[in-house]
Every structure is written in C-alpha cells, then in structure tokens.
Amino acid sequence: MTVLILTCEQDVTADMVVAELDGTGVPVVRLDPADLPGPVALSGEYVHGVFRGHLSVGGRLVSMNGLRSVWVRRPGVPASRVAEPSDWLTEESAQALYGMLRSTDARWMNHPDAARRARHKPWQLHLAQLSRLPVPATLITTFPQAARDFAARFPDLVVKPVSGAHPQEPPRAVPTSRVAPDADFAAVAYGPTLLQRRVAKRADIRLTCVGDRIHAARKAVDPDAGPDEVDVRFATSDAPWRPADVPSRIANAVVTYLREAQLAYGAFDFAEDAEGMWWFLECNQSGQFGFIQIDTGQPIARTVADWLSAPAQPAPPTNGGRAWLLEGH
C-alpha cells in the first residue's frame, strides 16, 4: 500500500517526510498535479461495478486502489505546466485526478472538502468558540459604523485579511497589523474587514497536530518589542521556538476542533497573554512545520510519516475515541 504525496518539487518540507518514509518499506509516490498531463499521467475505468485507476510519474506506476493515504501538501494547479494552459484544461485535469482519488479508500491528510471548509477564517473562529477555545473579540464587517462602535468598545485593535490571501497585482503582503488609534474606518465599506482585539502577548504558540499527536512550541516575544509588532511572521525577534507544555483544557479543545473539522492535520496559532492565557488566532490546515522541527528538534516529520504509513482502517474517524498524546518535549 502506497503513500501518495501531492506537492511541488521544491517543497523541502515534504522532503523531510519522504526521507523519514524511505527505509520503512512503505512505497511512496510523489507528484505535482501541475505536471498533469505530461510527466504525470493517469487512467481509471469504471467497469462491471468496479473502479480501477492508475497514476504514473517518473517511471513509477501505482494503482489507486493500492493507496493507503494521500497527503495534500503544496500541490500545484493541475495542468498549469502544459505548453498551452487554460482554465478548461485545469478543470478537466483537477476533476480527473481528484475525482478518481476520491473514489479510493485512502486516508486523506487533509480531505479536500474538509480542507476547503477549514480555510474559512470566520468558520474557524466559530468552531474555536464551539470547541471552548478562548477567542479574542472579533468583528468582520463592511459597515463603517459597526467598525467605529467596535473600536469604541475595544480601543486596541488589529486588522488582518479575512481569507489569509494576499493581493498579487502588484504582489503585496497584508500582515496582521495594529490599527492606528485615529483610524478612519470609512474604507471598511470597500471590503470585508476583520478587526480583532489585540492580545498583548508575551509569546506566540504553535500547536502542530498530526492525527492524535500534538507538538507544542512557544516563541517568546522580545521584551523590547513594541505593541505594533503583532505578526510573528514579521517580528524582528530572533528568539527560537522552544518545546512547550499544553494545558489540558487547550488540548481537549483542540481535539474537539479537529474532530469537528474532520482534519487529520492542523497547525494552530495562539497568542499567550501576560496571565498565561492562550488565545486562539487561527488553525492552518496545511501550516508549515519544518521551521518548528528545526528549532525545537520535535520529530514532526516522523509523526507525519507515521500517520501516512499507518495501515488502512475500515472506518477513518479523525482522532475519535482515542487518547490524545501531548508531545511538548
């Protein structure tokens, strides 16, 4: 039974997992849907009540019925590297590939349906609340007056993209940013705007959850950091990520979140305030983890490899009914 990894060639984080799988005896096939059709080829037939499908890449041929798991890591857009790309060919290729893979019994990390839903930040906030995770007061609105009223109730705010996406023409990044005290909220009418109470944090927390395992890491905020330094991705601090312990209440809530989201993998971001409270910020269903492993030494790639190479199970509930393993150290 083969592990299928869908990702681009330059994905060295996937390399960390492939390297772990090598030598275990578990076959691995790695391909980028961007190379379909061409270097990646597929065929599937539905005859006599049975589906049989095959994939090939780089001289490897795998039966889709022989897949034990599919890891959707950083796949390219199907058919995007053909000589004459088109939206039509992309849709044809995507439907053929993912439609056939959906026809198998393979376990997914993460299933495309669950992944698509899990990307919606407003839904993340809702599910976090239902899971009893502390969520900073948040407003998403196109009403300027609602923004003004919210700012009156919560004077210290940050703004961040609702989708997590960034504008490309020209390429720009929109980091989580502190809202100026005298901000004019009129422009809220020109696009849904996510405003959130700023957590005066003393550390950033990343929980990397794989199946029933949690790897917890903490990055202390530089004591000299100003209140405008909000987004850890842009922080000037060079403090490393360190292993951390997870409060049981948070661990239980994370279990609930992943189960309800039907996710096998999730990277949770929290802000730790001065009292030690962890405030939920988001859960990235495909969040990076290599940098955490490099800093902390936590065997996250090994954990991913273990999940992917586990024997197929007849019923694939995510985490349901099993003990949650906390792995801070």
Partner 1 sequence: MRPFALNYARPAQQLEVSVPYAYDSRLQLNVLPDGRLAAHDYAVLRELGATTSTAGSKTHFDD
Residue ranges in contact with partner 1 by CB under 8 A: 9-10, 12-13, 15-16, 18-19, 28-30, 57-58, 74, 76-77, 119, 147, 159-161, 163-168, 170-175, 177, 185, 187-188, 190-191, 193-194, 231-234, 284-291, 293-294
Least distance CB 172 / partner 1 (angstroms): 4
Which residue from 185, 192, 182, 133 is spatially nearest to 160, judged by alpha carbons? 192
* Residue number with CB closer to partner 1 (15 or 92): 15
* Residue number with CB closer to partner 1 (52 or 54): 54
Q: How far apart are CA 218 and CA 214, in angstroms?
A: 13
Q: What are the backbone dihedrals phi and psi of residue 16, each rounded to the nearest 5 degrees, phi first?
A: -60, -35
Q: How far apart are CA 79 and CA 258, in angstroms?
A: 32
* Residue number with CB closer to partner 1 (130 or 187): 187
Q: How far apart are CA 171 and CA 253, in angstroms?
A: 36
Q: How far apart are CA 118 and CA 121, in angstroms?
A: 8
* Residue number with CB closer to partner 1 (17 or 106): 17
* Residue number with CB closer to partner 1 (161 or 243): 161
- For 30-33, the CB contacts below 8 A with 24+ separation are 30/4, 30/5, 30/57, 31/4, 31/5, 31/6, 31/55, 31/57, 31/58, 32/6, 32/7, 32/8, 32/75, 32/76, 33/6, 33/75, 33/76, 33/77, 33/78, 33/79, 33/93, 33/94, 33/97
* Residue number with CB closer to partner 1 (48 or 233): 233
Bridge partners (DSSP) listed for residue 108: 70
* Residue number with CB closer to partner 1 (25 or 170): 170
Least distance CB 252 / partner 1 (angstroms): 24
* Residue number with CB closer to partner 1 (188 or 214): 188
Least distance CB 166 / partner 1 (angstroms): 5
Q: Which residues touch 322 (CB under 8 Å, ≥6 apart)?
A: 212
Least distance CB 76 / partner 1 (angstroms): 7
Least distance CB 150 / partner 1 (angstroms): 12
Kindly state the greatest CA–CA separation across the chain: 69
* Residue number with CB closer to partner 1 (118 or 250): 118
Least distance CB 249 / partner 1 (angstroms): 25
Q: Say whether 105 sits in a helix, a strand or coil.
A: coil
Whole-angstrom CA distances from 66 to 37, 259, 307 are 21, 26, 17
Least distance CB 125 / partner 1 (angstroms): 16
- For residues 61 and 19, the answer to whether their CB atoms sit within 8 Å is no
Least distance CB 291 / partner 1 (angstroms): 4
Least distance CB 321 / partner 1 (angstroms): 27
